[in-house]
Amino acid sequence: MTDKEQQEDELLALTSIYDETVLSVSDDTEEPGGQFLVSSHIPENFSIKSLSKDNKIEEHVVKNLPPISLNFQLPKDYPSVTPPQFTLSCKWLNRKQLTKLCLRLDEIWEEYKPCVVVFLWTSFLQDESYEFLGLSDTLDLTTPQSIERKQSTEKYDPRAIQDIASQNRLLATLIDYDKQVIQMEFDRSLFECKVCFCDRTGSQCINFYECDHVYCKECMKEYFTVQIGEGNVNGLYCPEDKCESQAHQSQVKELVPPELYAKYDKLLLQTGLDTMLDIAYCPRPSCQQPVIMDKEMSMASCASCCFVFCTLCKLSYHGLSPCRIKAEGLRKLKDEWLDGDEATRKLLEKKYGKAAIQQAVEESFSNEWLDSFAKKCPHCGAQIQKIDGCNKMTCMKCRAHFCWICNGFLAKANPYSHFSEMGSKCFNRLFEGVDMGDDDDDWDQWM
Cα of 104 vs its chain's centroid, Å = 33
Neighbour-count burial of 91, counting CB atoms closer than 10 A to its CB (0-12 exposed, 13-18 middle, 19+ buried)? buried
Cα of 74 vs its chain's centroid, Å = 33
Residue 331's alpha-carbon distances to 145, 219, 304, 344, in angstroms, are: 43, 36, 32, 16
Cβ–Cβ < 8 Å for 265, 216: no
SS (H, E, C) 231-287: CCCCCCECCCCCCCCECCHHHHHHHCCHHHHHHHHHHHHHHHHCCCCCEEECCCCCC
Omega cis (within 30) before 79: yes
Phi, psi of 309 (to 5 degrees): -135, 160
* 390 is known as an active-site residue: yes
Q: By C-alpha distance, which of 33, 31, 44, 27 is closest to 10?
A: 33
Cα of 197 vs its chain's centroid, Å = 32
SS (H, E, C) 44-81: CCCEEEEECCCCCEEEEECCCCCCEEEEEECCCCCCCC
Q: By C-alpha distance, which of 21, 69, 43, 381 is closest to 180?
A: 21
Residue of 377, 390, 403, 426 marked catalytic: 390
Q: By C-alpha distance, which of 399, 407, 404 is closest to 385?
A: 404
Cβ–Cβ < 8 Å for 319, 311: no
R_g of the chain, CA atoms, integer Å: 29
Within 103-230, strands assigned E span 138-140, 160-162, 190-192, 199-201, 205-207, 214-216
Q: Which residues are catalytic?
A: 390
